[in-house]
A and B are shown apart, each in its own frame.
Chain A
């Protein structure tokens, strides 16, 4: 691990202060507080939205947003399909290296968590802008802390939320009558059913999420996880997790000698009857897989007792984006009740809405009430409480330790 020199950390507050004191410089081109000027400037612009292209329903939703943006604001939306968000980060980094501080190729990125933390840390993002969007008023950041703290990192207006996701497990009721509903029960179940459970290999995002979920359940004092890892007794906090994993690993699929690469691979393993339980960071994942013929309609979802990890998906604008005004228009459209209701529908994406119902008009609330429930999607009540993400430094440390223990020595 390369330790970043302290001088990179220090100017963070300074930079934030500067961007407040010199708004004319930062917003010479687009100031979201003057929304009419933004929409006027946005007309005719093309937004290149770089977003993962591996899910048909997401691609279709982005296409729909593009049509809406064209009709209502004269903004053209181009979806640049990526196989990994890191490709967009690389691109912005190269532009910064080449000194291309304006007219960049990326206008909007689908981002969250570690990628956001890294881009924010390196000053690769434009803003603050998101909390000045007209539709930001429809959210309630007081009630939903995930909107302003992305993996505990303050968003500070540098990214705008558009969907809520939560860790949800799924299984085939035709093959497994009753799944285990806690991490402790899971280990016992795996011992009785060796080879029938696995998780994506960390540092895959979902695999790391699984480790964090287990850590929250098993650690003596979950409170310490919200602060940076250096401030806690890491060994004491994680010892129960490693004991638990040591017991679980021999009973995993392939005895833990191989792991699926990602969430998508896990769906396939359930379909191939190689494993009995899968999970995804999307409450609608099982319904989506059923609609895509990937899983049979006897599959159902469940969550662990005590709640499961959840967070928001965001869009951010690179510091050198070419069409910042139009990018903000898209971000604002994503927050509109019409788009949020469509996104929340299990027939589309099935992500949770980021809007607060008590901030909407009755008509607007009605759109949400009419959303059908997906065949294998849990209701918000069944989903239960959302656990906050630990500080990102925990994830980095867990990933490193996991690799040393299970990912390299075998």
Chain B
């Protein structure tokens, strides 16, 4: 890595992204205040906000978004920590780790469809009961789309828990948890208590950004909320999308105002969370040193494992349900299995999707490669030159995560059109980088900063230059979190729908644009085919991220976690 380039990396990254982010933000801000010349909005006004406030569903939609977002994040985090605390380093943990990549690869919408088919009153679980009880009709129960968003929360937790677990797994080895745990347990602390007292305070700061990302995502999520969430009214993000897609183009002003409100909600939730962090730290400070060895250890361990297994089972069973649907002929309630089987759904759609595999993965590899290079260069600049302030300004990178995509994109699209790059392969990759980079950054930055600086100091004392220190010490030691960040980035790229469609102008179809269009017909058979195809595409990078370190460190015990 050239010295000057590394030094310039934070500035370069900012510059590269400032344009798109500013354009996206302008595309949200301007119409929210009545400005959109193409629709005749030429004067600044607060009418869009007044209009938004007049919408009768607003209080409930806002409450719902906050509640489901905070609850899903809290439960995902609690479950992740409980599993790590109780089982890290055991065989059960290794088993959970093995199903992690499939869990992560299932697209959110597919997982939600699968879950809905499991838990609906006419779903697979109900059919198990219906057969012996001879139910002819499913009970008229409000399970999916319940007004409190409980099934929505469940749908988010089963997908976000694996993400946080992956982030924890990437961060843990550098903390050398085995030694600390052994010491604490030798002093008589229970396993979970020991973990909570000696590992958690050091781990949490490292997974803080991913937790924030989960929170922001859960509040602004649209696809999962449309499938599992309530509709009368829906969470704010879904409603913003509906306004944005309303045939009445004047609704776009209200949609932009709604998007800004959603941004404010996300920031509020993050501040609340931050306050919660401070409060927990204060409450825990006495407990940490009070010497309590922990009592309910066994129950906690069992709860953690049970809920973790349940959560994994829900996703995998849901996926199995979709796989069966993709091969199903007629399949009605209360049959447990289809009346007939057919390959027709695969023949019709499988070949179309297969043709797009190569391009989808190429875009993902390039976008995540670029994002990882920029991220690594920025973090390396921070290590070498202490360019912390430059890096701190990089919080701007997170804006694409915080502003709902649907409102962010029109501005981005106009910018792409103005520069003339729109509709090209390169433009699609560039817009993917905008949405992928935040994930690359938040996945890698904490483990990068947490690496013990003494390794580098020793290397330099032994006469190695900056470059050699990076290539021979830092990068190899960070191989696992680096690959994890790359895999997360690639999977995020694979999943991009609206950016690909709108910036690509329909000229650059990918697996996801095709899959979502096909699945909009709502037939579970088609959804089954597209879900499995998308899962396969996202599976590859995750599998590699777990496989490569295992191979590279097969005879390096110190590099394994646990």
Contact = CB atoms under 8 A, between A and B. Distances in A.
A84 B295 CA distance: 55
Nearest to A257: B142
Contact of B417 (A4, A100, A403): A100
A409 to B, nearest CB: 7
Contact of B522 (A54, A119, A296, A396): A54
Interface in A92-132: 93-100, 105-106, 113-115, 117-119, 121-122
B47 interface: yes
Contacts of B144: 258
Interface string B521-562: 111111000000000000000000000000000000000000
B232 A259 contact: yes
B193 interface: no
Contacts of B56: 403-404, 408-409
Contact of A94 (B250, B251, B417): B417
B523 A292 contact: yes
Contacts of B134: none
Nearest to B59: A408
A261 B518 contact: no
B328 interface: yes
A271 interface: yes
A348 B40 CA distance: 42
Interface residues of B, number: 81
Nearest to B238: A261
A203 interface: yes
Nearest to B51: A2
B467 interface: no
A346 B48 CA distance: 46
Contacts of A86: 244-247
Interface string A269-295: 001111000000000000000001111
Interface in B33-65: 36-40, 47-48, 51, 55-57, 60
A200 to B, nearest CB: 10
A82 interface: yes
Contacts, number: 216
Interface stretch (A45-53, A137-145, A219-227): A45-53
A194 B523 CA distance: 26
B423 interface: yes
B520 A84 contact: yes
Contact of B121 (A203, A274, A404): A274
Contact of A296 (B121, B328, B330, B498): B330
B232 A408 contact: yes
A290 B418 CA distance: 48
Interface string B328-358: 1111111000001010000011000000000
B369 interface: no
A118 B147 contact: no
B51 A53 contact: no
Given A118-B248, A261-B226, A271-B332, A90 B502 contact: yes
A410 B349 CA distance: 40
B439 interface: no
B522 A265 contact: yes
A253 B141 CA distance: 9
B417 A410 contact: no
A264 B142 CA distance: 20
B501 interface: yes
Contact of A89 (B37, B249, B521, B526): B249
B102 interface: no
B436 to A, nearest CB: 21
B332 A264 contact: no
A384 interface: no
Interface in A210-228: none
Contact of A264 (B120, B145, B251, B521): B521
B254 interface: yes
A293 B232 contact: no
Interface string A357-397: 00000000000000000000000000000000000000010
B516 A273 contact: no
A94 B122 contact: no
A381 to B, nearest CB: 30
B56 to A, nearest CB: 4
A293 B517 contact: no
B506 A83 contact: no
A94 B36 CA distance: 10
B413 A94 contact: yes
A107 to B, nearest CB: 10
**Which of A80, A90, A296 lies at the interface centre, i.e. has the most chain B CB atoms within 10 A of its CB?**
A90
A113 B247 contact: yes
Interface of B: 36-40, 47-48, 51, 55-57, 60, 120-122, 136-138, 140, 142, 144-147, 226, 230-233, 242, 244-254, 328-334, 340, 342, 348-349, 410, 413-415, 417-418, 422-423, 497-498, 501-502, 505-507, 509, 513-514, 516-526
21 contacts: A8-B40, A54-B518, A56-B518, A81-B517, A85-B247, A94-B414, A95-B417, A96-B38, A97-B38, A98-B413, A100-B417, A105-B422, A121-B249, A203-B246, A267-B522, A271-B333, A293-B525, A396-B248, A404-B56, A407-B57, A408-B232
